[in-house]
C-alpha cells in the first residue's frame, strides 16, 4: 500500500509539472500575439530602406542562433507562431498570406500593370551607397516594382521587391571582393516622364546599361533580377529544413549573343544545383510573338536575366537564395577570370 501511494504522489507531481509547463507555453504564446498585435495597431513606420539596412547589417543573425536563455522563449514562440523573434525577417512575415499581383504564365514580359504594382511596391533607395572602383558586376532590375509577399508586412510600410534582392546580392559580392554596383535610377519614374508604357522598361534599362558601360569600362557581368509569377509550390524548395526561393534563367533567342549567354546560364545553373540540388529550375528560352526575345542580352555575352523566387515568396526565402547565388557567382567569376589569363 505505501508503495502505491508513492507512485500516486509521483504521478501527481509529474502532472503538476506538465500543467505548469503548458501554462507557461500558453502565456508566452499569448504575450507574443499581443505584442505583435500592438505593433501592428501602432502602424510602426519602418520603411524599405531602414528595414533593408537592418537586414544587411544583421545578415549573420538570420541563419545563426545564439544558445542563451532567450533561445528557449524564441523556440516556444516559433513552435506556435512560426516566428523567430530574433530575426527581423520572420517576425514581419508572421501569418502572411498572399496579396500581390500575379499572372498565370512563367516569366511574363508584360509590365503594363506597373500602376497596379505601384500600390503595393515602390522604388527603394540605396541603403548603403558606396563608391566602388572599377566594378566588374552590374546588377539592375528592368521591372523594379516586381514584389514579393507583402500582406501583413505593409503594415510596417515595408514592401519587399526585386530591388531588395539586388542590394543584398551586391553586399555579398562586395564582401567577397567581387566589385559590384546596383543601378540606382528609377525606371518607373523614367517611364512616367516619357509617358511610356511598362512594356518599354527594357528600353529604359538598355539606356542605363549602355550608360553604365560608358562610365565603367571594367564591367564584365550583367545581371537583371526579376521574380516569377507562378504559384508558391513552383517557386520554393526546402533543403535541409530551410526554405529557398527557386531560380529560373531566361534567355532571349532573338539576339546574336544568345549562345554565349546560354553558356553563362548553363554554367551558373550547374553550380547552383551542384550545391543545392533543385534550387534552379533551369533555363527558359524565349522568342516569337508577344515576347521580348532579346532582354538586352545582345549588348554583352555576359548578360543574364535571373528570376529569384515568385510573388508568394517571403524576403527571408529570397535572402536564403541570394546567399546561394552569390556563392555560385563568386565561384564562376573566379574560374572565368583564371581561364581568361
Closest alpha carbon to 160 in 313, 45, 44: 313
Please give the span between the terminal C-alpha atoms of the chain, in angstroms, as a whole number: 88
Instruction: Retrieve residue 98's grid coordinates.
Output: 498572399
Domain at 114-340: CATH architecture: 3-Layer(aba) Sandwich (3.40)
The pLDDT, as a whole number, for residue 65 is 38
SS3 at position 252? strand
pLDDT confidence of residue 291: 79
The grid coordinates listed for 25 are 507555453
In the three-class reduction of DSSP (H, G, I as helix; E, B as strand; rest coil), residue 244 is classed as strand
In degrees, rounded to 5, the angle at the alpha carbon of residue 282 between the alpha carbons of residues 279 and 286 is 140
Range list for CATH 3.40.630 in the chain: 114-340
Main-chain phi, psi angles of 102, to 5 degrees: -135, 160
What's the pTM?
Answer: 0.74
CA 114 to chain CA mean position, Å:
20
What's the CA angle centered on 299, arms 293 and 302, to 5 degrees?
90
Backbone angles phi, psi at 244, to 5 degrees: -125, 150
> Can you list the residues of the chain whose pLDDT is less than 50?
60-73, 75-83, 85, 91-105
Classified as helix, coil or strand, 337 is: helix
pLDDT of the residue at 55: 65
Do the Cβ atoms of 228 and 107 come closer than 8 Å? yes
Q: Residue 321 has what pLDDT?
A: 98
Handedness of CA 150, 229, 303, 271 (dihedral sign): positive
Alpha helices in 198-281 (DSSP H): 201-215, 232-235, 258-275
- The confidence score (pLDDT) of residue 318 equals 95
Please calculate the CA angle 236-198-293 and round it to the nearest 5 degrees.
70
**Which positions ≥6 away from 330 have C-beta within 8 Å?**
173, 176, 178
Amino acid at each position: 500500500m505505501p508503495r502505491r501511494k508513492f507512485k500516486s504522489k509521483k504521478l501527481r507531481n509529474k502532472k503538476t509539472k506538465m500543467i505548469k509547463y503548458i501554462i507557461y507555453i500558453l502565456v508566452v504564446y499569448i504575450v507574443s500575439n499581443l505584442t505583435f498585435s500592438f505593433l501592428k495597431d501602432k502602424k510602426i513606420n519602418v520603411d524599405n530602406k531602414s528595414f533593408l539596412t537592418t537586414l544587411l547589417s544583421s545578415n549573420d543573425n538570420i541563419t545563426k542562433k545564439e544558445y542563451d536563455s532567450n533561445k528557449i522563449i524564441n523556440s516556444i514562440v516559433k513552435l506556435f507562431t512560426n516566428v523567430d523573434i530574433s530575426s527581423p525577417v520572420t517576425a514581419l512575415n508572421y501569418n502572411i498570406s498572399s496579396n500581390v499581383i500575379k499572372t498565370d504564365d512563367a516569366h511574363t514580359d508584360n509590365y503594363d500593370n506597373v500602376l497596379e504594382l505601384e500600390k503595393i511596391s515602390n522604388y527603394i533607395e540605396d541603403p548603403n551607397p558606396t563608391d566602388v572602383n572599377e566594378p566588374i558586376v552590374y546588377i539592375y532590375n528592368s521591372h523594379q516594382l516586381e514584389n514579393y509577399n507583402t500582406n501583413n508586412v505593409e503594415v510596417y510600410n515595408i514592401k519587399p521587391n526585386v530591388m531588395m534582392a539586388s542590394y543584398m546580392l551586391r553586399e555579398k559580392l562586395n564582401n567577397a571582393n567581387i566589385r559590384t554596383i546596383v543601378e540606382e535610377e528609377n525606371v518607373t519614374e523614367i517611364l512616367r516622364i516619357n509617358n511610356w508604357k511598362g512594356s518599354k522598361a527594357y528600353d529604359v534599362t538598355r539606356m542605363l546599361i549602355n550608360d553604365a558601360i560608358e562610365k565603367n569600362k571594367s564591367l564584365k557581368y550583367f545581371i537583371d533580377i526579376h521574380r516569377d509569377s507562378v504559384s508558391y509550390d513552383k517557386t520554393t524548395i526546402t533543403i535541409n529544413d530551410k526554405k529557398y526561393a527557386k531560380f529560373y534563367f531566361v534567355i532571349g533567342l532573338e539576339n546574336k549573343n544568345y549562345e554565349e549567354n546560354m553558356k553563362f546560364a548553363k554554367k551558373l545553373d550547374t553550380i547552383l544545383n551542384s550545391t543545392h540540388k533543385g534550387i534552379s529550375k533551369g533555363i527558359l528560352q524565349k522568342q516569337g510573338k508577344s515576347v521580348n526575345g532579346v532582354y538586352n542580352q545582345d549588348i554583352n555575352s555576359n548578360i543574364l536575366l535571373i528570376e529569384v523566387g515568385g510573388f508568394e515568396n517571403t524576403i527571408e526565402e529570397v535572402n536564403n537564395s541570394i546567399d546561394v547565388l552569390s556563392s555560385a557567382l563568386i565561384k564562376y567569376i573566379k574560374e572565368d577570370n583564371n581561364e581568361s589569363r
